[in-house]
Copies of this chain bind each other. A is one copy, B any other.
Amino acid sequence: MAKKIDPWGSNLVKDYQKVVDDFGLDKFNIKDFPDPNRMMRRGIIFAGRELKTIANCIKEKKPFYVLSGIMPTNDKIHFGNKQVVENIRYFQDHGGKAYILIADLEAAATRGVSLKEAKRRAIEFHIPAYIVLGLDPKKTKFYFQSENKDVTNLAALFSRKVTANEFKAIYGSIDPGKVFASLTQCGDMLYPQLKKRMPGIIPVGIDQEPHIRLCRDIISRTKNMKFQPLGSMYHEFMPALNGDLKMSKSHPESNLDLPEDPKIACKKINRALTGGRDTLEEHRKKGAIIENDMVFKLLKYHLIEDDKELAKIYVEYKSGRMTSGEIKKIACGKMTAFMKDFENKLKKARPLAKKMFSSK
């Protein structure tokens, strides 16, 4: 029996390789993708589905799309979402048509956020933030789930193509709320194909694999609709600063959000789990245990773009010439610059987002 991944829970995936094998995912092959981004180069992206199909679209300049969603439950986004946006940007830069859905329906159903409030948050914060993180506002289609009838019409059709047993096998649950949300998500994921049939890719955390699997099954059962393949690209989670496998709002001291007061972010960095040794003497002698170092991970996942710069820190830190105090100082400096830049750019991006929806 296939292993279950729960996209709604906190069932963490400890062994990514096992997931790749269990679900028969495609391993990510960096050679297939031109100008690989930071996460591709650093092995943070590890697998996907239909990766060759999408690589081929890029190579042959054939149309394809890339899609993700925003859940406007508050006026912050999780630091990990930055990874998703940067991956969308990668595909947008390589010819993909980008779609961002605002999951206001799901925010209303699961968190009691009114549609009006969700819209305000999306326009004032989330959409500008996604623009700041690299999406081209002119080339990205943002839409609200609650305003897109094509999506729910697809969901209604798809509801007849899956059985309760299949839901149970994929999700381990047949909760009506989850059934409704999953079918709506599949509607979202195939919506770009209503205008034009073309392959699509969803860059996403591995915890969302079940949604991809369900939707791929639905494609195979709606052959008359002639949908093109739906692919995915999975990245590792940035761990929590205390070393937990995933950041969580229930441990705010180890969790990073966007935006965040740089002083508070630095405080969190200073308290993070590091691979530094107990004494300076021991550290100089043995060097840092980099695999256990959350600050280095932060640099690797997010804060340092230049591979050479990162490699230099790696060597220095691993050899013990650099201390965890020093690496924390670097991370704090980079984080402060990033946050200030983000805030400045956010102010400029806001009018763009407002304009986008003013004529509607």
Q: Which residues of A line the B interface, CB within 8 A?
A: 105-106, 108-110, 115, 146-149, 152-153, 155-157, 159-164, 167, 173-177, 179-181, 183-184
Interface contact A156-B175, CB-CB below 8 Å: no
Contact A159 B176 (CB under 8 A): yes
Chain B residues whose C-beta falls within 8 Å of the C-beta of A149 in the assembled complex: 146-149, 152
Closest 9 CB pairs of A and B: A159-B180, A152-B152, A160-B177, A105-B156, A159-B177, A164-B174, A109-B160, A159-B176, A162-B176
Collect the chain B residues with CB atoms within 8 Å of residue A177's CB: 159-162
Instruction: Pick from A159, A161, A173, A179 the residue with the most CB of B within 10 Å.
Output: A159
- A–B complex contacts, Cβ < 8 Å, 23 sampled: A105-B156, A106-B156, A108-B153, A108-B157, A109-B157, A109-B160, A115-B153, A146-B156, A148-B149, A149-B152, A152-B152, A152-B155, A155-B180, A156-B184, A159-B177, A160-B177, A161-B177, A162-B176, A162-B177, A164-B173, A176-B179, A179-B179, A180-B183
CA of A167 to CA of B147, assembled, Å: 28
Quick check: B174 and A159 within 8 Å, CB to CB?
A: no
Tell which of A105, A106, A162, A180 has the most Cβ of chain B within 10 Å: A180
> How many angstroms between the C-alpha atoms of A40 and B184 in the bound complex?
42
Residues of chain B within 8 A (CB-CB) of A109 are 156-157, 159-160
Do residues B152 and A181 form an inter-chain contact, with CB atoms below 8 A? no
CB A216 to nearest CB in B, in angstroms, measures: 16
Knowing A105-B153, A176-B167, A180-B183 touch, does A110 contact B147 (C-beta < 8 A)? Answer: no
CB-CB nearest in chain B for A111: B160
Contacts of A152 in B (CB 8 A): 149, 152, 155-156
For A115, the closest partner residue in chain B by CB is B153
- Measured in the bound complex, the distance between the Cα atoms of B152 and A167 in whole Å is 21
> Given contacts A153-B105, A153-B115, A174-B164, are A159 and B181 in contact (CB under 8 A)?
yes
Besides A106-B156, A167-B176, A176-B183, 18 new A-B residue pairs in contact (Cβ under 8 A), listed by A number: A108-B153, A108-B157, A110-B160, A115-B153, A147-B149, A156-B180, A156-B184, A159-B176, A159-B177, A160-B176, A160-B177, A161-B177, A162-B176, A162-B177, A164-B174, A164-B176, A176-B179, A180-B183
Chain B residues positioned under 8 Å from A175 (CB to CB)? 163-164
Name the B residues within 8 Å of A105 (CB-CB).
153, 156-157
A159 to B179, CA, bound (A): 8
Residues of B within 8 A of A147 (CB): 149
Q: Which residues of B contact A164 (CB under 8 A)?
A: 173-176
Among residues of B, the one whose C-beta sits closest to the C-beta of A151 is B152
Residue of B nearest to A161 (CB): B177
Q: In whole angstroms, what is the CA distance A150 to B180 when docked?
A: 16
